[in-house]
Amino acid sequence: MTTWIEPAADDPFGLHNLPLCATRAGWTGVRAGDLILNLAAAEEAGLVDAGGTFTGAKTLNRFLATGRPTWTRVREQLTELFTGAKTATIEGMLHPVAGTALALPFEVADYVDFYSSEEHANNLSRIFRPDSPTLLPNWKSLPVGYHGRAGTVVVSGTDIPRPHGQRKAPDEERPSHGPSRRLDVEAELGFVVGASSEGVIGVDDFREHVFGAVLVNDWSARDIQAWEYVPLGPFLGKSFATSVSPWVVPLDALEPVKAAAVVQDPPVLPYLREAERYSYDIRCEIRWNGTLVSRPPYAGIYWTPAQQLAHLTANGAWARTGDLYASGTISGATPEQTGSFIERTWNGAHPVRLDDGTTRSFLLDGDTVTISASGWCSDGVVVGFGEVTGTVVTRV
């Protein structure tokens, strides 16, 4: 395919990707190479037809709600636009990625976070419950998750004030309240529901409802979490902030990076059984103040996003446009593949050394964490997610 987008087609943001975004200037866009096309302007000029859902829209929600036939049509129209003649009209709708301030791409309806990496679940269990079996009896029967706080999902680049909360270390006699002493990250992939449903979504209908994926950093205050989580699960140790990348990568762009999913044993119940079971070969990198400290691989996740969505609606709960559900921390088999610092440093027993010579176990005020990711296709095509970054600041 020839295109006037520079750089060429092996760019992680080439025409095979076309992730969507929202800008602080109040319009939605699509990225091609190092440029963002103003979708409202393109729609007003008749270059794309999204049923008017880009026009006047500050977020992607109205477009996401249209469903797969419109998503497919618009993707085809955008591909035609970027491979056709570059007219002066189109030129006037293009903005450089560098210098365009991005906003939260969609208004988050509900936010659910799963716990679907077996390595992560095993690691956390060994750290939090050293005397118990590593996996609880339900873990391989259903995708364990919890409802998070949609209102504190923020776009990449937003500062993260250190949360305060109640905590009690095992060697402390009484709980106290104050700034978290064990602030951590969780590298995850988040899936964005476009087409809503007033009820059950079958495990094979995932693509009809989910538009695409974002990178997620589920900031976690381990000391608050450890004291509060029994028996109802995560609460204030998680709800203070969740960061997402500004680019929503369409599922269509992830088709080439599909990968075999792990075989589930024991077999799952019929409502979780996929006709075609697959994962995605998406590889993350976590940088702590610029130092690469981990490379979590997504492909080995135990519960797929199709199973997670089927489970999350299996009780009849509605799925709404803008619902975000995250994979759970992505951890591989080695310490250098873990998606959180509590695992990477084994609860502080093995601090990591940063390039400036300092060491870390948990986050200090002023620390910046950047998670990036790309999808890898067997023929070498790379699909970029960009990054989700955030700096911890002292709460005033």
Output the 3-class SS for the chain.
CCCCCCCCCCCCCCCCCCCEEEECCCCEEEEECCEEEEHHHHHHCCCCCCCCCCCCCCCCHHHHCCCHHHHHHHHHHHHHHHHCCCCHHHHCCEEECCCCCEECCCCCCCEEEECCCHHHHHHHHHHHCCCCCCCCCCCCCCCCEEECCHHHEEECCCCEECCEEEECCCCCCCCEEEECCCEECCEEEEEEECCCECCCCCHHHHHHHEEEEEEEECCEEHHHHHHHCCCCCCCCCCCCCEEECCCEEEHHHHHHHEECCCCCCCCCCHHHCCCCCCEECEEEEEEECCEEEECCECCCCCCCHHHHHHHHHCCCCCECCCCEEECCCCCCCCHHHCCCHHHHCCCCCCCEECCCCCEECCCCCCCEEEEEEEEECCCCCEEEEEEEEEEEECCC
Please report how close the Cβ of residue 242 comes to Ca ion at its closest, in angstroms.
8
Task: Indicate the residue among 218 and 281 with the shorter CB distance to Ca ion.
Answer: 218
Task: Indicate the residue among 110 and 113 with the shorter CB distance to Ca ion.
Answer: 113
Among all residues, which ones are annotated catalytic?
120
Task: Indicate the residue among 186 and 323 with the shorter CB distance to Ca ion.
Answer: 186
Please report how close the Cβ of residue 204 comes to Ca ion at its closest, in angstroms.
26
Task: Indicate the residue among 43 and 228 with the shorter CB distance to Ca ion.
Answer: 228
Report the residue closest to Ca ion, judged by CB. 218
Binding residues for Ca ion (CB under 5 A): 113, 186, 218
